[in-house]
Chain A
């Protein structure tokens, strides 16, 4: 509690800068332990997506590609057409990785925060601000067991971040999260070039998801591709990953 009390509500007038401004948070047990031990937060009951999500930044813009499989522990395919990349900002997207409920709630919250920021300040949030906010929420909020990729474009250029479950925010030229990450990284490694065209980056991202889908039991069933440029976000889904390579 700060020294500044709202005289009407009696609440802290400064609020908690690391908490969301909108929406009420389900109170569960406080997060205990790290993401691997999970604590008591209904870890056993949640559906986890397995997943491979890839983000690549180029001079022209950002490409984010995700597989379409939801699985129970990587052993049973519970859904074959999941869109795991969603727009959260006029020029940024976030992937769903980890607990489905956590990731969906995380996306809704970030979207609301980004909208609120933009209408209040008359300019969109920078991608770095969005990544910082996402890291704060992942660390202090109720969204346990998520590990998304954030990709976006702003006045400073193209950016890709990974957000880890403990709130770590790491910027990179390209990044992969999810159970298929090693396969996808193997595909991208050595092929990436900051000056590559957006189309080439798109093909590289799709091939990375394709490789993970072939060998990781938690990933597969097609690919969603999000393309982010100054002009906005475009998201397409393909049941066959090969279609994503040719369709442009």
Chain B
């Protein structure tokens, strides 16, 4: 069995006799090694939150980018291989601008997500390449004002979510999101849920090392919260913790 598996385990992505693509599955394992990012969609907008805590106090935290602005109305969170994520983020940025060139309109979030996943998929069906070891959460507001949240997978499948987590401890974080998600959340409620979920994945969060980006329906624009804006949410989170 061991030999049997190894034959389908290297080189390009080919099916094993039981119909699996090991390289794609290993790419998912690579994502699990990354720290988690959380996305929450509410009627008022979409929230992305990520913990960029550094491994060393010497590293400049601002150089650890997990949330990326793709266009005025779309942002992306990444988990997994940073270098792979950068490639996909730049691909997404160029697709978004290409849509403006072609149609003079901002791109729909779903269209963008599918362009990116179609590109990812090509790397599961070609020789001499490896799949992308990264998952993205793509958050945005469509030109018609609809908030959207998508996830990309190394297989090239797009998924649409009300709330999701990518990266390590994903299953555990999904449990928290499932308990805490309500369809009537406002944007602040979305931020609180995202931070509460993120807090479960590690040590206590601090406003300097957590990144929060929103795309609200009212402005339709990406906004990064600065630490002063994040602080009250974390304070509230910690008070809640004390009550329990």
Contacts and interface: CB of A to CB of B under 8 A. Distances in A.
Contact of A4 (B108, B114, B119): B119
A6 B87 CA distance: 13
B102 A17 contact: yes
Given A120-B111, A121-B108, A132 B102 contact: yes
Interface stretch (A7-15, A49-57, A97-105): A7-15
B59 interface: no
A129 B111 contact: no
Contact of B126 (A4, A7, A120): A7
B91 A18 contact: no
A136 B95 CA distance: 17
Contact of A136 (B94, B102, B126): B102
A13 B91 CA distance: 9
B104 A4 contact: no
Interface size range on A against B: 20 to 34
Contacts of B102: 17-18, 129, 132-133, 136
A120 B115 CA distance: 11
A4 B101 contact: no
B103 A132 contact: yes
The winner among A7, A125, A128 for most chain B CB atoms within 10 A is: A7
Contacts of B97: 17
A121 B119 contact: no
- Interface SS, B side: helix
Interface string B98-142: 110111110010110010000100110110110000000000000
B103 A129 contact: yes
B90 interface: yes
Nearest to A117: B103
B105 A17 contact: no
Contact of A133 (B94, B103, B110): B103
Contacts of B87: 4
A129 B119 contact: no
A241 B57 CA distance: 82
25 contacts: A2-B94, A3-B90, A4-B94, A7-B123, A7-B126, A7-B128, A7-B129, A8-B122, A8-B125, A8-B126, A13-B91, A14-B94, A14-B98, A17-B97, A17-B98, A17-B99, A17-B102, A18-B101, A121-B108, A125-B103, A129-B104, A129-B105, A132-B104, A133-B102, A133-B103
Interface of A: 2-4, 6-8, 13-15, 17-18, 120-121, 125-126, 128-129, 132-133, 136
Interface of B: 87, 90-91, 94-95, 97-99, 101-105, 108, 110-111, 114, 119, 122-123, 125-126, 128-129
